[in-house]
Amino acid sequence: MPNPFTQLRTTRENQQLSVSDVAELTQIEPHYIEALESAEFSKLPDPVYVRGYIRTYARVLNVAPNPLLSHYKKWEEQNQSSMEAEAAVGSAVPVASLSRKERSKRAKDDAGRAALINEWWNRLSQNKVVWVAAAVIAVLAIGAVVTWTVVSEGKEVKVVSADSEAKPSDAPAINKQRPRVMLVQTSDSYEFGDVYQVENADQVMVKITAKKPTDIRVRAGGPKGKALFDKRLEANQTMTFNDDKWLSVRLDNPDQVALFANGVLIDTSTQKEVSLYQVRMANATGEDSSAQESTE
Protein backbone atom coordinates (compact mmCIF):
# COMPACT_ATOMS: atom_id res chain seq x y z
CA MET A 1 0.00 0.00 0.00
CA PRO A 2 1.56 3.36 -1.02
CA ASN A 3 2.41 5.83 1.70
CA PRO A 4 -0.20 8.66 1.50
CA PHE A 5 2.06 11.04 3.44
CA THR A 6 4.25 11.48 0.36
CA GLN A 7 1.52 13.65 -1.14
CA LEU A 8 1.84 16.28 1.60
CA ARG A 9 5.12 17.72 0.39
CA THR A 10 4.08 17.50 -3.26
CA THR A 11 0.77 19.25 -2.58
CA ARG A 12 2.44 21.91 -0.44
CA GLU A 13 5.02 22.67 -3.11
CA ASN A 14 2.34 22.74 -5.83
CA GLN A 15 0.53 25.38 -3.77
CA GLN A 16 3.83 27.30 -3.51
CA LEU A 17 3.91 27.06 0.27
CA SER A 18 7.10 26.72 2.29
CA VAL A 19 7.41 24.72 5.50
CA SER A 20 7.46 28.05 7.37
CA ASP A 21 4.24 29.12 5.65
CA VAL A 22 2.48 25.93 6.70
CA ALA A 23 3.84 26.20 10.24
CA GLU A 24 2.39 29.71 10.49
CA LEU A 25 -0.99 28.63 9.10
CA THR A 26 -1.33 25.52 11.25
CA GLN A 27 0.58 26.61 14.38
CA ILE A 28 2.53 23.33 14.12
CA GLU A 29 6.29 23.37 14.70
CA PRO A 30 8.29 23.28 11.39
CA HIS A 31 10.23 20.14 12.38
CA TYR A 32 6.92 18.36 13.00
CA ILE A 33 5.74 19.42 9.52
CA GLU A 34 8.87 17.90 7.99
CA ALA A 35 8.44 14.72 10.06
CA LEU A 36 4.86 14.33 8.80
CA GLU A 37 5.89 14.82 5.18
CA SER A 38 8.59 12.15 5.48
CA ALA A 39 6.38 9.88 7.65
CA GLU A 40 9.03 9.84 10.39
CA PHE A 41 6.46 9.28 13.13
CA SER A 42 9.04 8.48 15.80
CA LYS A 43 10.05 12.16 15.73
CA LEU A 44 6.51 13.29 16.58
CA PRO A 45 4.93 13.78 20.02
CA ASP A 46 2.10 11.85 21.67
CA PRO A 47 -0.35 10.19 19.19
CA VAL A 48 -3.20 12.33 20.54
CA TYR A 49 -1.43 15.42 19.22
CA VAL A 50 -0.26 13.75 16.01
CA ARG A 51 -3.80 12.90 14.91
CA GLY A 52 -4.74 16.55 15.40
CA TYR A 53 -1.68 17.65 13.42
CA ILE A 54 -2.66 15.35 10.55
CA ARG A 55 -6.23 16.67 10.38
CA THR A 56 -5.11 20.30 10.55
CA TYR A 57 -2.37 19.91 7.93
CA ALA A 58 -4.68 17.97 5.59
CA ARG A 59 -7.36 20.65 5.87
CA VAL A 60 -4.93 23.47 5.07
CA LEU A 61 -3.76 21.63 1.94
CA ASN A 62 -7.34 20.52 1.11
CA VAL A 63 -6.44 16.80 1.02
CA ALA A 64 -8.42 13.91 2.47
CA PRO A 65 -7.26 13.18 6.06
CA ASN A 66 -8.69 9.65 6.39
CA PRO A 67 -5.99 7.81 4.35
CA LEU A 68 -3.33 9.64 6.35
CA LEU A 69 -4.98 8.76 9.67
CA SER A 70 -5.38 5.10 8.66
CA HIS A 71 -1.73 4.83 7.65
CA TYR A 72 -0.60 6.43 10.92
CA LYS A 73 -2.86 4.11 12.94
CA LYS A 74 -1.28 1.04 11.32
CA TRP A 75 2.19 2.37 12.12
CA GLU A 76 1.10 3.06 15.69
CA GLU A 77 -0.22 -0.51 16.11
CA GLN A 78 2.92 -2.06 14.61
CA ASN A 79 5.16 0.11 16.77
CA GLN A 80 3.24 -0.86 19.91
CA SER A 81 3.46 -4.57 19.02
CA SER A 82 7.20 -4.26 18.45
CA MET A 83 7.72 -2.55 21.82
CA GLU A 84 5.70 -5.23 23.62
CA ALA A 85 7.68 -8.00 21.90
CA GLU A 86 10.98 -6.42 22.93
CA ALA A 87 9.77 -6.08 26.50
CA ALA A 88 8.71 -9.75 26.56
CA VAL A 89 12.00 -11.06 25.20
CA GLY A 90 14.10 -8.76 27.38
CA SER A 91 17.56 -7.46 26.76
CA ALA A 92 19.41 -9.95 28.99
CA VAL A 93 20.78 -13.05 27.23
CA PRO A 94 21.87 -16.05 29.39
CA VAL A 95 25.64 -16.42 29.41
CA ALA A 96 25.37 -20.14 28.76
CA SER A 97 23.79 -19.49 25.35
CA LEU A 98 26.66 -17.26 24.20
CA SER A 99 29.66 -18.32 22.16
CA ARG A 100 33.17 -18.27 23.61
CA LYS A 101 33.91 -15.00 21.78
CA GLU A 102 30.70 -13.39 23.01
CA ARG A 103 31.34 -14.52 26.61
CA SER A 104 34.82 -13.04 26.44
CA LYS A 105 33.47 -9.74 25.15
CA ARG A 106 30.82 -9.62 27.88
CA ALA A 107 33.45 -10.30 30.55
CA LYS A 108 35.60 -7.44 29.24
CA ASP A 109 32.60 -5.10 29.19
CA ASP A 110 31.70 -6.04 32.76
CA ALA A 111 35.28 -5.51 33.90
CA GLY A 112 35.37 -2.13 32.19
CA ARG A 113 32.17 -1.01 33.88
CA ALA A 114 33.46 -2.17 37.26
CA ALA A 115 36.70 -0.21 36.75
CA LEU A 116 34.76 2.95 35.90
CA ILE A 117 32.55 2.60 38.99
CA ASN A 118 35.60 2.02 41.19
CA GLU A 119 37.37 5.09 39.75
CA TRP A 120 34.28 7.24 40.26
CA TRP A 121 33.97 6.10 43.90
CA ASN A 122 37.65 6.87 44.58
CA ARG A 123 37.29 10.37 43.18
CA LEU A 124 34.15 10.92 45.20
CA SER A 125 35.90 9.81 48.38
CA GLN A 126 38.83 12.13 47.72
CA ASN A 127 36.52 15.07 47.30
CA LYS A 128 33.99 14.19 49.99
CA VAL A 129 34.84 17.36 51.95
CA VAL A 130 33.84 19.49 48.96
CA TRP A 131 30.62 17.52 48.51
CA VAL A 132 29.69 17.83 52.18
CA ALA A 133 30.29 21.59 52.12
CA ALA A 134 28.18 21.97 48.99
CA ALA A 135 25.36 19.96 50.56
CA VAL A 136 25.40 22.10 53.70
CA ILE A 137 25.29 25.31 51.66
CA ALA A 138 22.38 23.97 49.60
CA VAL A 139 20.40 23.03 52.71
CA LEU A 140 20.99 26.44 54.28
CA ALA A 141 19.95 28.20 51.07
CA ILE A 142 16.73 26.21 50.85
CA GLY A 143 15.97 26.92 54.49
CA ALA A 144 16.52 30.64 53.91
CA VAL A 145 14.08 30.68 50.99
CA VAL A 146 11.41 28.76 52.90
CA THR A 147 11.62 30.79 56.11
CA TRP A 148 12.42 34.22 54.65
CA THR A 149 9.53 36.18 56.18
CA VAL A 150 9.32 39.33 58.26
CA VAL A 151 6.69 40.69 60.63
CA SER A 152 5.38 44.19 59.89
CA GLU A 153 2.75 45.87 62.10
CA GLY A 154 1.59 42.51 63.43
CA LYS A 155 1.12 40.97 59.93
CA GLU A 156 3.25 38.37 58.25
CA VAL A 157 4.71 39.65 54.96
CA LYS A 158 6.30 37.23 52.53
CA VAL A 159 9.41 38.54 50.75
CA VAL A 160 9.38 37.97 46.98
CA SER A 161 12.69 37.38 45.22
CA ALA A 162 13.75 39.89 42.57
CA ASP A 163 13.55 37.41 39.70
CA SER A 164 9.95 36.38 40.41
CA GLU A 165 6.78 38.20 39.43
CA ALA A 166 4.84 39.70 42.34
CA LYS A 167 1.13 39.00 41.84
CA PRO A 168 -1.88 38.07 43.98
CA SER A 169 -2.02 34.41 44.90
CA ASP A 170 -5.43 34.06 43.27
CA ALA A 171 -4.35 35.64 39.96
CA PRO A 172 -4.79 33.31 36.96
CA ALA A 173 -1.61 31.67 35.69
CA ILE A 174 -0.35 33.03 32.37
CA ASN A 175 -0.67 30.47 29.58
CA LYS A 176 2.67 30.49 27.77
CA GLN A 177 1.74 27.81 25.23
CA ARG A 178 0.52 28.76 21.78
CA PRO A 179 -3.21 28.28 21.16
CA ARG A 180 -4.24 25.04 19.46
CA VAL A 181 -7.25 24.95 17.15
CA MET A 182 -8.60 21.57 16.07
CA LEU A 183 -11.55 20.49 13.93
CA VAL A 184 -13.61 18.21 16.20
CA GLN A 185 -16.88 17.92 14.23
CA THR A 186 -17.81 18.55 10.61
CA SER A 187 -20.92 20.00 9.03
CA ASP A 188 -21.81 16.49 7.83
CA SER A 189 -22.78 15.55 11.39
CA TYR A 190 -23.66 18.97 12.85
CA GLU A 191 -26.34 21.19 11.33
CA PHE A 192 -24.62 24.40 12.43
CA GLY A 193 -21.41 23.86 10.50
CA ASP A 194 -17.87 22.76 11.27
CA VAL A 195 -16.89 22.88 14.96
CA TYR A 196 -13.39 23.97 15.95
CA GLN A 197 -12.08 23.48 19.49
CA VAL A 198 -9.61 25.95 21.02
CA GLU A 199 -7.04 24.84 23.59
CA ASN A 200 -4.20 26.63 25.43
CA ALA A 201 -6.10 29.94 25.38
CA ASP A 202 -8.14 32.04 27.79
CA GLN A 203 -10.85 32.93 25.27
CA VAL A 204 -12.02 32.44 21.70
CA MET A 205 -10.76 35.03 19.21
CA VAL A 206 -11.96 35.23 15.60
CA LYS A 207 -10.57 37.57 12.94
CA ILE A 208 -12.27 37.97 9.55
CA THR A 209 -10.70 39.84 6.62
CA ALA A 210 -12.76 40.32 3.46
CA LYS A 211 -11.08 39.93 0.08
CA LYS A 212 -14.25 41.20 -1.61
CA PRO A 213 -17.47 42.69 -0.15
CA THR A 214 -19.48 39.99 1.62
CA ASP A 215 -22.10 39.66 4.36
CA ILE A 216 -21.13 38.06 7.66
CA ARG A 217 -22.86 37.33 10.96
CA VAL A 218 -21.12 36.65 14.27
CA ARG A 219 -22.81 35.53 17.50
CA ALA A 220 -21.35 35.23 21.00
CA GLY A 221 -22.10 32.16 23.10
CA GLY A 222 -23.00 29.77 20.27
CA PRO A 223 -25.41 29.50 17.32
CA LYS A 224 -28.30 31.05 19.27
CA GLY A 225 -26.25 33.59 21.19
CA LYS A 226 -26.18 37.37 21.06
CA ALA A 227 -25.49 38.87 17.61
CA LEU A 228 -22.26 40.88 17.64
CA PHE A 229 -22.12 41.76 13.94
CA ASP A 230 -24.63 41.24 11.12
CA LYS A 231 -23.85 43.27 8.01
CA ARG A 232 -21.60 43.62 4.99
CA LEU A 233 -17.86 43.55 5.34
CA GLU A 234 -16.20 45.69 2.68
CA ALA A 235 -13.13 44.64 0.67
CA ASN A 236 -9.91 44.64 2.75
CA GLN A 237 -11.91 45.37 5.91
CA THR A 238 -11.02 43.36 9.01
CA MET A 239 -13.18 42.66 12.06
CA THR A 240 -12.06 40.93 15.25
CA PHE A 241 -14.36 39.30 17.82
CA ASN A 242 -13.81 37.46 21.11
CA ASP A 243 -15.82 35.53 23.68
CA ASP A 244 -15.01 33.55 26.80
CA LYS A 245 -16.61 30.35 25.47
CA TRP A 246 -17.99 30.31 21.93
CA LEU A 247 -18.25 32.31 18.70
CA SER A 248 -20.61 31.33 15.90
CA VAL A 249 -19.70 32.67 12.44
CA ARG A 250 -21.84 32.73 9.29
CA LEU A 251 -20.15 33.65 5.99
CA ASP A 252 -22.21 34.30 2.86
CA ASN A 253 -19.12 33.95 0.65
CA PRO A 254 -16.55 31.88 2.55
CA ASP A 255 -14.10 31.79 -0.35
CA GLN A 256 -13.90 35.61 -0.30
CA VAL A 257 -12.63 35.95 3.28
CA ALA A 258 -9.66 34.95 5.40
CA LEU A 259 -10.97 33.40 8.65
CA PHE A 260 -8.63 33.06 11.65
CA ALA A 261 -9.40 31.37 14.98
CA ASN A 262 -6.93 32.36 17.71
CA GLY A 263 -4.32 33.10 15.05
CA VAL A 264 -4.83 29.85 13.11
CA LEU A 265 -6.13 30.07 9.53
CA ILE A 266 -9.31 28.10 8.80
CA ASP A 267 -9.24 27.27 5.10
CA THR A 268 -12.49 28.43 3.44
CA SER A 269 -11.10 28.92 -0.08
CA THR A 270 -13.03 26.00 -1.60
CA GLN A 271 -16.39 26.78 -0.01
CA LYS A 272 -18.60 28.79 -2.35
CA GLU A 273 -21.94 28.60 -0.52
CA VAL A 274 -23.19 30.13 2.73
CA SER A 275 -21.45 28.30 5.57
CA LEU A 276 -21.40 28.24 9.37
CA TYR A 277 -18.38 27.82 11.64
CA GLN A 278 -18.43 27.21 15.38
CA VAL A 279 -15.28 28.12 17.32
CA ARG A 280 -15.46 27.16 20.99
CA MET A 281 -13.30 26.58 24.04
CA ALA A 282 -12.58 22.98 24.99
CA ASN A 283 -14.75 23.27 28.12
CA ALA A 284 -17.69 25.04 26.43
CA THR A 285 -21.07 23.33 26.81
CA GLY A 286 -22.96 22.16 23.71
CA GLU A 287 -25.88 23.98 22.12
CA ASP A 288 -29.23 22.23 21.61
CA SER A 289 -30.89 21.67 18.26
CA SER A 290 -33.32 24.57 18.78
CA ALA A 291 -30.62 27.11 17.96
CA GLN A 292 -31.91 29.97 15.83
CA GLU A 293 -28.94 30.27 13.45
CA SER A 294 -29.30 28.66 10.02
CA THR A 295 -27.83 28.89 6.52
CA GLU A 296 -31.12 29.77 4.89
Give the pLDDT confidence of 133-177 residue by residue, as tens digits: 555 555 454 444 333 333 333 333 333 333 333 333 333 333 446
Distance CA 23, CA 29 (A): 6
160 and 233 share one domain: no
Q: Say yes or no: 235 and 212 in one domain.
A: yes
Q: What predicted TM-score, i.e. pTM, was given to this entire model?
A: 0.42
Task: For the chain, give the percent of residues with pLDDT over 70.
Answer: 63
Q: What is the DSSP letter of 285?
A: P
Pair 240, 204: CB distance under 8 Å: no
Determine how many CB atoms are found less than 10 A away from the CB of residue 28: 24
Tell me, yes or no, whether 253 and 222 share the same domain: yes
Which stretches does DSSP call E strand in 202-256?
Answer: 204-210, 214-220, 226-233, 238-243, 246-251
Least-confidence region, from 19-33, 79-93, 224-238: 79-93
Residue 289 domain flag: no
Tell me the pLDDT tens digit for each residue of 47-101.
Answer: 889 999 999 999 999 999 999 999 999 998 988 877 666 555 544 445 455 555 5
Same domain, 262 and 220: yes
Range of the domain at 196: 180-281
CA distance 72 to 67: 9
Shared domain check, 134 and 75: no
Same domain, 78 and 59: yes
**Does the residue 286 lie in any domain?**
no
Q: Is the pLDDT of residue 246 over 90?
A: yes
Mean of the pLDDT values across residues 269-292? 75
Domain membership of residue 170 (yes or no) is: no
Model pLDDT, residue 289: 37
Q: Quick one: 159 and 222 in the same domain?
A: no
| Nearest residue to 270 (alpha-carbon basis) of 245, 247, 249, 251 | 251
Give per-residue pLDDT as tens, 193-229: 999 999 989 899 999 999 999 999 999 999 989 999 9
The total domain count for the chain is 3
